[in-house]
Structure formats: structure tokens, C-alpha cells
Amino acid sequence: MFTKEEKKKLKLEFWSRLEDQMTRLKNPHGSKVNWMNYNTGINHLYFRMEADEKAGRLCIDLQFPDNGVREVYWDQFEEFRDLLNDRFKGKLIWLKDFEHENGKTISRIYLEKAEVNINNQKDWDKMHLFLKLSFVKLDEFWDEFSDVFLQLK
């Protein structure tokens, strides 16, 4: 068992190492990918990475305060379901109504690497590789199709 402070230190080191690896990645235009504050260009639409004691995840979170707006964006992502599932080899999980840890209901599309633990440094290479490769695929998708979503603003 780890103390709260030890867990905090492990998480910080995990994300710092991932950041070191991500800074070397380039988007399709050759620019650095700002993965920590990825700019989708749309308020309340976020691309996030998560890691905990059970899994690593790459998430597309639709956190629009207006449920109608959230549904419009969800429907647009649904139009790309086959393409996204092909890109991520059918491993995406689609949750139209997801209870976020902040207590709000959002929509979430995510990919998960299960049976890894952020507190186990032996799992970090697997988690980092999964998150990097998945984020690159998501960035490529967004580069190609973001205009469709931006027109909904």
C-alpha cells in the first residue's frame, strides 16, 4: 500500500515521463501536439488522458452545459462511428450518458488499456505507449475532420 503522498508522487512522475515522450511527437503538419491542453476549438469538447489503478484511457468528453447542444455533437460523432471504430480497431466505448466524477452527466467516447496500474512502474511503458499511439490517432482524426464539428458552433 502506498501513502497518499506516495501515490501523488507516482502520478506526477508518470505524467512527467509521458510529457517527455509526447513532446517529441508531431501532428500531421509537423507541429508539436499540445496534448495536455489540446485545443479542439470548441468549448466543452475535450480530449483527455486518464490513468488510475485499473486502466489507462483516452477520452473524448462532451461536457456541454446544454443537453441539446451535447446531443448535436454526440450525433455528429455518431456519424463518424464506423470511421473511428476502424481507426481504433473497434475498441472504442460509446457512452451517451456518463456520470463524470464532477457529478455532471456528460457524453464520453473512450479507449481503454485495462489491467494496468499507475502505481506499478512496471506498467508505465505499456500505458505510455497506449496513450501516445492512441492520441496520435485521435489527433490525426481531428486534423482531418474537425471542420465538420467546428461548423456546428
Cα distance between residue 6 and residue 141, in whole Å: 37
Please report the pLDDT score of residue 27 as a whole number.
72
111-128: per-residue pLDDT in tens? 999 999 999 999 999 999
Its domain, for residue 19, covers: 4-150
Q: Is the pLDDT of residue 44 over 90?
A: yes
Distances (CA, A) of 37 to 25, 28, 40, 46, 58: 15, 18, 9, 9, 14
- Do the beta carbons of residue 108 and residue 26 sit within 8 Å? no
pLDDT digits (tens, 9 = 90+) for 49-67: 999 999 999 999 999 999 9
Res 32 pLDDT > 80: no
pLDDT of residue 57: 98
What is the number of domains present in the chain? 1
- Can you tell me the distance from the alpha carbon of 52 to that of 93, in angstroms, rounded to the nearest whole number? 18
Higher-confidence residue: 116 or 153?
A: 116
Average pLDDT score over residue span 127-153: 95
pTM to 2 decimal places: 0.93
pLDDT for residue 70: 98
Q: Which residue has the cell 485495462?
A: 114
Share of the chain above pLDDT 90, in %: 85
Positive or negative torsion for Cα 95, 99, 102, 103: positive
* Distance (Å, whole) CA 60 – CA 132: 15
Please list, residue by residue across 4-27, b when 16 or more beta carbons sit within 10 angstroms of its beta carbon and e when fewer do: eeeeeebeeebbeebeeebeeeee
